[in-house]
Amino acid sequence: MTRSSELFNRAQRVLPGGVNSPVRAFRAVGGTPFFVAHGHGSSLADVDGEEYLDYVCSWGALILGHAHPVVLDAVRAAAGRGWTYGAPCEAEVDLAEEVRQRMPSLEMMRFVNSGTEATMAAVRLARAATGRDIIIKFEGCYHGHADSFLVKAGSGVATLGLPDSPGVPAALASLTLTAPFNDARAVADLFREHAGRIAAVIVEPYVGNVGFISPDSDFHPSLRDLCDQYGALLIFDEVMTGFRVAPGGAQERLGVKPDLTTLGKIVGGGFPVGVYGGRADLMKRIAPEGPVYQAGTLSGNPVAMAAGLATVRETNARGFYEELEQKTARLTNGLQRAAQRHGVAISLGHAGSMWGAYFTEGPVRNYADAKRTDTALFARWHKAALARGIFLAPSAFEAGFVSAAHTDGDIDVTIEQLDAALAEARAH
């Protein structure tokens, strides 16, 4: 028995499913999850001594790769000064100013401890500001596990094929309306049907929690117009896309300004951090300046702030995003050629260093299209890729990521091994 198997057996006795986040259990792809010993650069090493080129990158948080020396130095220095204060520190202000410079729509912001916390607070603020209760989200989009968002959700909910989560009161679920992604007409119909009752539209600007889906060019401008027309707020959930698809996130890449934005992952450099922010007139409603209450013992944690600040500043380097996007395009192009060579239907896409593949004829424009993907083929491909040292997300419904630590040589090896893995998966 491998050391990972031993640990997984122990874990299942004390952790639900043996994991602390559902997709990690490998239920969608079969087999036993490997347990990580350490990460370095573009790779992970497991407790059995196996090495993997990592395209999960802590689910998108590690744009610089594992244990980047500049971030590591910043973390060590911050921890040496104490790792939690319960009081303000300078790094909070520095990181907030850095975020605002890169994303001007965040005129003011509040640091929290997770993306889920950020989206939950943003919706509370939207409801308070508008005096309305209903929100619109999109089928397959995932905004964390707060009750309001577990209606036709993506991420692990889609991976495990779960219906809307038990434990969410029907009365609360009724305040969340859903529409297909890339269908602005459906959103307009909801606004007309519920005129004067919709507080906000929340959207992943590039979907990453049901695989990767790009928006149509007119989709987000239409959402912006509808929100303006009906007096609702537009919330961009950039927990995944923020500082990933462009220096200023998806809102820069798409040229659309939301009222509120949520961030996570990269903004904390891999530490537990979330952000919600936006127009100053909205954010001034947050306590203690206003009546909308939200608090957190570890919010603005000095070590997390130092990690986030070091990470964001490293991505300021000239050509950083262009180089990452070129690597990602080369990876997806190589995978496209492999699929054609083996006669496998595939739909691929990427934005910046975020990418995804569906084993189905394209285009994939929404969750219904995504569900056509061949999940059995994906599971076989994932297993064959892992055996060849390539770690992909253990779900057909998750985006992949390229980090700055991935070299051109890593990309070449990955294309070669994913090609071989696809041939094996196709043969069975």
**Which residues are catalytically annotated?**
142, 237, 265
Q: How many Å apart are CA 146 and CA 224, to the nearest integer?
A: 24
Do the beta carbons of residue 335 and residue 358 sit within 8 Å?
no
Angle between helices 408-427 and 320-341 (to 10 degrees): 30
Contacts of 75 (CB under 8 A, 6+ apart): 269, 271, 303, 306, 307, 310
Cα angle value 121/124/128 (rounded, 5°): 140
The one-letter amino acid at 405: A
H or E element that contains 369: helix 367-370
Q: Which of 276, 260, 292, 278 is nearest to 131 (CA)?
A: 292
H or E element that contains 423: helix 408-427
Task: Order across the sheet with 43-46: list the strands.
Answer: 36-40, 43-46, 51-54, 390-391
Q: How many Å apart are CA 311 and CA 264, to the nearest integer?
A: 12
Q: How many Å apart are CA 187 and CA 200, to the nearest integer?
A: 11
| 297 DSSP β-pair partners | none
Do the beta carbons of residue 3 and residue 48 sit within 8 Å?
yes
Give the three-state DSSP class for 391.
strand
Do the beta carbons of residue 397 and residue 316 sit within 8 Å?
no
Give the three-state DSSP class for 206.
coil
Report DSSP letters for 154-193, one per residue. -THHHHTT--SPTTS-HHHHTTEEEE-TT-HHHHHHHHHH
Do the beta carbons of residue 335 and residue 124 sit within 8 Å?
no
Q: How many Å apart are CA 149 and CA 143, to the nearest integer?
A: 6
Do the beta carbons of residue 423 and residue 342 sit within 8 Å?
yes
